[in-house]
Structure 1
Amino acid sequence: MSSDASIHQALMRALDRDTDSFTELLTELTERVGRDRVTAILNSVSPRGQHSGLSNCQKRTSLSVFEMLVKEFKVPTSTADGTKSTPLIAAICSSAEDIVQFLLSAPGKLNLDAADNQGCTALHWALRLSQSDVAKSLIERGARVDLATTTGMQPLHDAAAENLVELLPVLVQRGANVSAIDKKGNTPLHFAMSKGHLDAVEVLTEKLASPVDGHNIAAANGNLKQVQMFVARSKNVNQLDQNGASAVANAKENGHSAVVEYLLANGGLEIDAAPAQPSAGEEQNDSDDHDDDQSDKPRKQLSSSERANMRRRARQHKAPAAAAAHASRDESHTSAPVHGTQSHEAGTPTWIIAVAVLVVILFVLAFVLRR
């Protein structure tokens, strides 16, 4: 009798050939080894760690065979394979809409929010593959619209990126966050703009999001059509972005001369980003450099290079004085009295006194002898 692994491989090879071959082999195996064993094999894990149930079968079979597997062999509709892909996700990725609708209407609980190893749910894939009808069916059946993938993308990001304009309001109505950001800080509006989807951009800015952020992004990206659309809707073309820069400044910095010209002609002003505030350490250094100046007169703002030069000159000025002080200390150290010797350098040496006494004695003796 064949092993379960060999039966599984035979079924998959038959499925690779065509649906009829798979059906014939399935019927033959059922007669030979029994329905229960075939069912167990269809629901088992393959030697490579991939589930051998619907997630594999649906990619290469017809709806009729798929229905047979579910109804006759009780293959579960929510079991995932080795990549965590459920039969529903696999059917969507295979564009098998008839199987998708069968799964959605099949009896039993279907986990709509199960995610694969990328964190993508069935709704994510339906939106990414522009399957609007499938996405609508999933949303109507309660699929969550706020789940993020491993990169932080939510369904609204996918809808904006694919220009699925009719689904944007639907997602928002169901609770999607228009300000949601992925792990790179991108909002749905960023995706719509980067793809050049003016319709999606218009919906997001007019109904769902603030146009202020959008026109600054468009200015930075150099998209004149988007800038024109934002300017037409914006009450203030000089609204600053989070860095304190205007749309004109953003466009100029990125070399978009046509955008700069248009904005200037429509009341735009070049307002650069606010300068970074000096750190506490830099402020302390500035204070140290000028602590001898207590006057109330305004002080000239020095650049970092000028401050560095001032510190260098100060060190050069202090060096000779330090050297002199060091030499003085060395001199006093070498002239210090040695223990046990005469320490009064200003007094008369002892040997001179002794010589003088001796001379006096000799003089007295000579005087006495002459008499």
Structure 2
Amino acid sequence: MNVFDVLLERGFIATEEDGTPKQVTDMKVREVLGQDNISCYIGFDPTASSLHVGSLVQIMVLAHMQRAGHRPIAVVGGGTAMVGDPSGKSEMRKMLTQEDINNNMLGLKKHLSRFIEFSEDKAMIANNADWLSPINYIEFLRDYGVHFSVNRMLAAESVKLRLEKEQGLSFLEFNYMLLQAFDFLHLKQNHDCVLQMGGDDQWGNICAGIDLIRRVERKSAYGITFPLITTASGAKMGKTEQGAVWLDSELFSPLDYYQFWRNVDDRDVKKFLGIFTFLPMEQVNELGQLQGKDINKAKKILAFEATKLNHGEQAAKTAQETVEKIWSGDKKGVDLPTLTVLSSELEEGILATELFHKLDLVPSKSEAKRLIKKGGASINDERIQAFDFKVTSADLQDGEILLRAGRKRYAKVVVKS
């Protein structure tokens, strides 16, 4: 099966009402993807030490490309991160140091390697700083700037959005489109890369690269973009009350990761099974038809498969067993996020808001207060009624204290003498 059809069937590519694919620069791309072993790329900004669930669409697309026999290239923007992509942003991004970028790149490579096989030239990770940093500015303007129309650049959605804002668009950011276009040209010239993919906000940048290749190389190149994944409630995918759902286990534990997928809206289950797992579509469609309590079976499979891909099968099994114990009421002794405190601290009492924050059940103490106000915070399954409630040694049960945020997020406190 052509990988283009795979992406279409699994919900990566948005369509018109008549089924015509949206955001595809040329439908000939399907024919191109029917060939053996083309090279294609997606760029990732090293703006943090970890990718998050919002990046999973692009990662899964590269993985599908590899499974279809093509060669994916993951471009980590070590060079363009020094400029900052204005696409989809209402204000200028925070500028990063070279040290920040280098450290973040290590984390990104680690995450990408969980989904994509990079050995034996099956795929490639490239840092665009390798070819952008040596550029001579005058030569770059002379050789490539002549091919860019300022009128067309101003018409790009990402540029228009910023020009409408009070802050406007800096000349530094205005250069970003040229640099990303040059990335595509460089990859075409050096790795015969003919396809660039990305989020819908990258449409203008991708088209600029295709146009540059046509003008400089007199050759064709192609682009596909993917819509921003939102939940059935309209929320941006990967955002929770606790913040971003990071792929790094140090920032977001495998247990929390499992529970994130386990707790998705019933209406999102089929869509997420298609996009975020490699299960056959026959099984996805079958699971997507489940209703009522039966949908929990599909949610468990989604949570296990998604966690296995990112954290490994053993971590997925451990998380699954832990959650099943919690849901069955057997919460004692399970492997939950744990905070150790001194017995003397408990004698004095510790504010519940402080414990909820330290255990990452909420992103801040103010969020803990809001959770208490909504009735969503509990100690040993007893709802906390007051913001200033203190947890003391009187709350110990079998040597530990169980904290719950919302319906299903648990952590515990244990005591050290």
TM range (shorter): under 0.3
Higher strand share: 2
TM-score calculated relative to the size of structure 2: 0.18
Higher helix share: 1
Larger Rg: 1
TM-score calculated relative to the size of structure 1: 0.20
Q: Name the structure, 1 or 2, with higher relative contact order (CA <8 Å, separation 6+).
A: 2
